[in-house]
């Protein structure tokens, strides 16, 4: 089955950073998971291992912007998205929403904050309660956050389903297992929109779907983001999708942001060797554009035992002795373009 055609169209994206302050600011965000805490491991005398998923991430996301986040599996993309909305608790750092530190909020204040910050999960089936009908699933957040009254919630659910292209008559009284994958993901999007958020983390929202319907869901997301003036963090490993959806793109490698640039600037002139390798390895829709560039050499280092210096140096064709001892900071490389590399 062929992939859906997603080409950059002629939409004019204004620069959301002009004369604005960020809506979401991520400062020095780090997260480490402790592995091997099982009873068997302790009885065998083995020490727990520590997996560093995020290592000092800094990002700004501007009102009305769609920021793409790309990288290999295991680079920390999903962990970052979950830390932003506090499904994971970071070890250190700040997540500022409109100037307010989300990580310092108590349970009651965080419940109110969830009206503003929502997430769409990768797996549309496991993220829905299998015992609730779609109507019950969408009514619950509306009532909990007092978006509408009990008398109004029926109409509110119908509106949400229509917003994501579903018929209330056909879907509302079904259970999740009675829907297709595309329908379930549309319900997940409707649930995120139910509380009228301003910021949404979309964590690989179409990767679990058949390629034949990925384009439909992505086009719906782009349309809703523009119509509702949503701010979006779009997490994906698909470079075609990130180019279609995003104003800017951040590239992650082993828990760090290694490059950040406006979308077309990143695709036209990538700076970091890792970004260049990702773009060279991406499949091309036009066979005449296929490249013979080799894939990235070797495997990523284990996040349990990170090498000193630049984490990409063991796979990098530009690595020098400096890379083995000194981790490169993010530095400017053109207008709105920053990169973490000693050799560009």
* DSSP strand pairing (24-35 vs 199-203): unpaired
CA Rg, the chain, in Å? 21
Could you read off the pLDDT of 263-289 as tens digits, one per residue? 999 999 999 999 999 998 877 655 555
Q: pTM for the whole thing? A: 0.88
Domain-embedded: residue 18 = no
Could you read off the pLDDT of 203-252 as tens digits, one per residue? 999 887 888 788 899 999 999 999 999 999 999 999 989 999 999 999 99
Domain-embedded: residue 328 = yes
pLDDT for the residue 6 = 38
Residue 2 pLDDT > 50: no
Could you read off the pLDDT of 310-333 as tens digits, one per residue? 989 988 988 899 999 999 999 999
List C-alpha distances in Å: 5 to 8, 244, 279, 284. Answer: 10, 10, 17, 11
pLDDT for the residue 104 = 96
Domain-embedded: residue 49 = yes
Q: Which has the minimum average pLDDT: 38-47, 48-57, 63-72, 149-158?
A: 38-47
Q: Which CATH number covers residue 207?
A: 3.40.50.300
Please report, to the nearest 10 degrees, the dihedral formed by the alpha carbons of residues 122, 217, 251, 255 taken in order.
-10
Q: Which domain, by its residues, includes 82?
A: 24-116+197-339
Domain-embedded: residue 275 = yes
pLDDT for the residue 314 = 87
**In 10 A of CB 262, how many CB atoms?**
19
Q: Over pLDDT 90: what percentage of the chain?
A: 67
**The 100-101 sheet, strands edge to edge:** 49-61, 24-35, 92-97, 100-101
Give the pLDDT mean for 153-178: 94
pLDDT for the residue 1 = 35
Give the pLDDT mean for 166-173: 90
Could you read off the pLDDT of 49-78 as tens digits, one per residue? 888 999 999 999 999 999 999 998 889 999
Domain count for the chain: 1
pLDDT for the residue 42 = 60
Domain-embedded: residue 333 = yes
Helices 153-163/134-144 angle, 10° precision: 110
Residue 12 pLDDT > 90: no
Domain-embedded: residue 335 = yes
Residue 255 pLDDT > 90: yes
Q: Which has the minimum average pLDDT: 114-128, 218-232, 251-265, 282-296?
A: 282-296
Give the pLDDT mean for 96-124: 94
Domain-embedded: residue 153 = no
């Amino acid at each position: 089955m062929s992939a859906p055609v997603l080409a950059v169209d002629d939409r004019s994206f204004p620069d959301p950073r002009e004369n604005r302050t960020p809506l979401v600011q991520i400062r020095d965000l780090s997260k480490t998971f402790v592995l091997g805490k099982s009873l068997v491991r302790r009885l065998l005398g083995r020490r727990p291992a520590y997996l560093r998923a995020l290592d000092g991430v800094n990002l700004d996301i501007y009102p009305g912007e769609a920021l793409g986040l790309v990288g290999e599996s295991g680079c920390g993309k999903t962990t970052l998205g979950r830390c932003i909305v506090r499904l994971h608790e970071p070890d250190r750092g700040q997540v500022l929403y409109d100037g307010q530190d989300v990580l310092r909020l108590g349970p009651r204040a965080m419940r109110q904050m969830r009206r503003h910050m929502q997430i769409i999960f990768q797996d549309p089936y496991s993220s829905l309660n299998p015992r609730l009908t779609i109507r019950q699933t969408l009514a619950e957040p509306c009532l909990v956050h007092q978006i509408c009254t009990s008398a109004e919630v029926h109409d509110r659910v119908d509106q949400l389903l229509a917003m994501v292209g579903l018929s209330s008559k056909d879907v509302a009284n079904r259970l999740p297992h009675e829907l297709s994958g595309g329908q379930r993901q549309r319900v997940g999007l409707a649930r995120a929109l139910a509380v009228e958020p301003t910021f949404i983390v979309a964590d690989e929202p179409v990767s679990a779907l058949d390629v034949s319907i990925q384009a439909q869901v992505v086009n719906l997301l782009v349309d809703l983001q523009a119509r509702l003036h949503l701010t979006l963090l779009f997490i994906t490993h698909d470079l075609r999708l990130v180019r279609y959806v995003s104003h800017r793109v951040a590239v992650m490698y082993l828990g760090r942001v290694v490059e950040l640039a406006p979308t077309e600037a990143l695709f036209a002139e990538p700076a970091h060797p890792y970004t260049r390798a990702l773009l060279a390895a991406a499949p091309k829709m036009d066979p005449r554009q296929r490249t013979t560039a080799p894939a990235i050499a070797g495997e990523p280092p284990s996040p349990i035992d990170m090498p000193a210096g630049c984490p990409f140096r063991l796979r990098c064709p530009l690595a020098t002795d400096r890379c083995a001892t000194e981790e490169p900071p993010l530095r400017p490389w053109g207008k709105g373009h920053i990169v973490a590399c000693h050799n560009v």
